[in-house]
Amino acid sequence: MDHSILHPFVAELRATERLKGYAEAFPAPARVSEPALPLLLASLYEELGRPLVLLAPEDQDARDAAEGAAWFLGDERVAMLPSRGVHWGSGLDPAPHLVGERARALDVLAAGGLVAASAAALAEPMPPPTARPQPLRIAPGEEISLEQLSETLALSGYERVERADERGQFAVRGGLVDVFPTTGREPLRIEFWGDEIEQMRAFSPFTQRALHPVETAVIYPAVERRLDLVEPTLRDDGAATPIPSDLVRPVPGGPDLVWQAGEVRTVWEEEGLEPVPFGKAALLDTLPAGQPFAFEAQRPALVARGLAEAENELSAFVRSGQRVVVAFPHLGEALRQQNLLRRIEAHVIAEGQELPRDAGLTFAVTPARRGFVWRDLGLVLLPDTQVFRKRPPRERRVGGRALQSFADLRSGDFVVHEDHGVGKLLGFETKEVAGVTRDYLFLGFRGDDRLYVPHEQLGKVSRYIGADTSAPALSKLGGKAWDNLKTRARESVRELAGELLALYAQRQQAPGVAYDLRHEYLERLEAEFPYRETPDQQAAIEAVKEDLEAPRPMDRLVCGDVGFGKTEVAIRAAFAVAVNGKQTLMLAPTTILAEQHWHTFRERYRDFPVRVEMVSRFR
């Protein structure tokens, strides 16, 4: 079985005498700090070698515990059992995604996994196993007809629609079945060859485009009871909804561990739920109460800072003998940050590698978003967002992007079809073809060429963005003109990309000066700014600071309209260079503007030992 990249943390804790002693004394009570809970659960699960159920007060507590344990064990062996979201007798059905999550949790538990459940989830009954829809496991090559699959999905509570874009829906289109699993992040497109699944692919619910092939999938139900076992009942208006008499507890054996038992009991009392006996469950709490075992870790007392401050914090951990692991969501981010470091070295750990035995800094690609400092183990786990300052994401407005709905267009607009070229939208029409009613875009091309584009192919159409306001030449359907045009465009883009890559490679290799931005004068200058920085202005300032701290020449263009605060960005950058003993030359297009900037810089620097001069044809 493939292990998570953070699985070595589990091996480290399992090797301690404390964990081994606790496993032998299990289910003894223990004092556990909240940051230590996920790693303790993962290590105890592997040490005991059997399924475990953790009972937590709220859904969010259970989700945090399951999510954290999955960082160390992997997603396949860990699940979260949420509450139904509605009470029995309310007349309402739980949301499909909650039904799917509950079914998956019981499936993982039956396979010997680790499950975290909330107090309400464990106390709320559900239909007996014989009445529940079973998970559907499918893969290419499996023999099942389109009709059988559709019937199974319908009995599992999936809603048949024309377009599956929400969890718990499926659509049948010709020889295809689109289904959005209740626990899936992406819908699946299942293609048949006779009574056999030929291939499966994930697709985008917005553009309906296929994304990547899928080797195997598990489709969990959208209802708690099979629809063919539901008996329709008629009741008078205002009458209470009858509660089924065959309901059973989701986990008959009860929990193995209870996190904060007092809060769990409070939830049951407030929700009016029948308590679940703790039995021989191990009671875990953050407060000391004479427990024979204790597992302590602290939350990292860090905030995202500039590169220099981050290096100081990381170096302090390493000097104190800690092995520091920083979690990044993507390999590119880890490698980029590794190249920026200049005062401390870091190496990127690969999956399956053991943690270094000596104190040092390691980068890992993992979804871990919360960290801890476990001094007894000499381990520190930090999410990258807590260590390194991130630039705020910029809103992108890209012309010509794929449309998401008919509302993005008006009749008369020029559009581009990726297969046929430039056309004009003549209108919207609804047609019935082969017994299926769909909405279509009606496009006109050169001459009398016309094309109907069904709504599920909307992702192939984008708005035309031209260099000027003149009307474009329409393409002709058929022929190779449009394909030749796309080929030439791709070649030009590829050539330009090659030139840019070569240029930026040269810039990355050019040596530069890394400036120290920890000077007290710089903090005073920023504090004396008489206005509040705008979000975009602050983002530009932070980006320029990162450039100055990097050991390469700066290559940045700051754009903005008149009066949007570009000068203040330049003032702070020039001042940072000055306090590091270097000079700055600022060029202005006119003599008047140069004099204005001269006075502005002198006014901002008047309380600091920095000299500002102006050179022009008059001075």
Range list of H helices, 531-590 = 535-549, 566-579
Beta bridge partners of 427: 442
pTM summary value? 0.63
Residue 594, both tokens: 């140069």
* Residue 21 pLDDT grade (very low, low, confident, very high; cuts 50, 70, 90): very high
Residue 236 belongs to some domain of the structure: no
Residue 70 belongs to some domain of the structure: yes
Do 11 and 119 belong together in one domain?
yes
Domain coverage including residue 555:
520-604
Residue 23 belongs to some domain of the structure: yes
Do 144 and 119 belong together in one domain?
no
Specify the pLDDT at position 391. Answer: 55
Q: Is 67 helix (H, G, I), strand (E, B) or coil?
A: helix
pLDDT per residue as tens digits for the range 497-541: 998 888 888 877 788 888 888 888 888 888 888 888 888 888 888
Residue 401 belongs to some domain of the structure: no
Do 437 and 581 belong together in one domain?
no
Compute the C-alpha angle 578/391/521, nearest 5°. 25
576 Cβ contact partners less than 8 Å away, ≥ 6 residues apart: 515, 517, 519, 522, 545, 548
Do 326 and 410 belong together in one domain?
no
Q: State yes or no: pLDDT of 401 exceeds 80.
A: no
Torsion (CA) 451, 456, 460, 463 in degrees, nearest 10: 80
| Cβ(267)–Cβ(120) below 8 Å | yes
CATH of the domain at 251: 3.40.50.300
Which residue, 478, 506, 538, sits at the end of a domain?
A: 478
Do 149 and 205 belong together in one domain?
yes
The domain total for the chain is: 5
Do 195 and 117 belong together in one domain?
no
Do 136 and 27 belong together in one domain?
no
Residue 499 belongs to some domain of the structure: no
pLDDT per residue as tens digits for the range 105-148: 999 999 999 999 999 999 999 999 998 999 999 999 989 999 99
**311-321 b/e (C-beta count within 10 Å ≥ 16 → b):** bebbeebbeee
Count of beta carbons in the 10 Å neighbourhood of residue 250: 21
In total, the chain counts a number of residues equal to 619
HSE-CB at 238 with a 13 A cutoff on CA atoms is 0
* Residue 336 pLDDT grade (very low, low, confident, very high; cuts 50, 70, 90): confident
**305 secondary structure, DSSP code:** B
Specify the pLDDT at position 398. Answer: 40
Do 160 and 27 belong together in one domain?
no
Residue 539, both tokens: 């983002």
Residue 259 belongs to some domain of the structure: yes
What mean pLDDT is predicted for residues 572-578? 91
| Cβ(389)–Cβ(402) below 8 Å | no
Compute the C-alpha angle 174/180/181, nearest 5°. 130
Do 18 and 112 belong together in one domain?
yes
Compute the C-alpha angle 263/267/273, nearest 5°. 140
CATH of the domain at 465: 2.40.10.170
**481 secondary structure, DSSP code:** H
Do 17 and 119 belong together in one domain?
yes
**212 secondary structure, DSSP code:** E
Taking all residues of the chain, what is their mean pLDDT, rounded to a whole number? 86
| Cβ(366)–Cβ(319) below 8 Å | no
Do 428 and 441 belong together in one domain?
yes
Do 256 and 121 belong together in one domain?
yes
Which residue, 461, 478, 495, sits at the end of a domain?
A: 478
Rounded CA-CA distance 188/69 in Å is 28
Residue 529 belongs to some domain of the structure: yes
Identify the residue whose tokens are 């058929």.
478
CATH of the domain at 180: 3.30.2060.10
Residue 319 belongs to some domain of the structure: yes
Specify the pLDDT at position 475. Answer: 86
pLDDT per residue as tens digits for the range 258-306: 999 999 999 999 888 889 998 889 999 998 888 999 999 998 887 666 7
Query: What percent of the chain has pLDDT above 70?
Result: 94
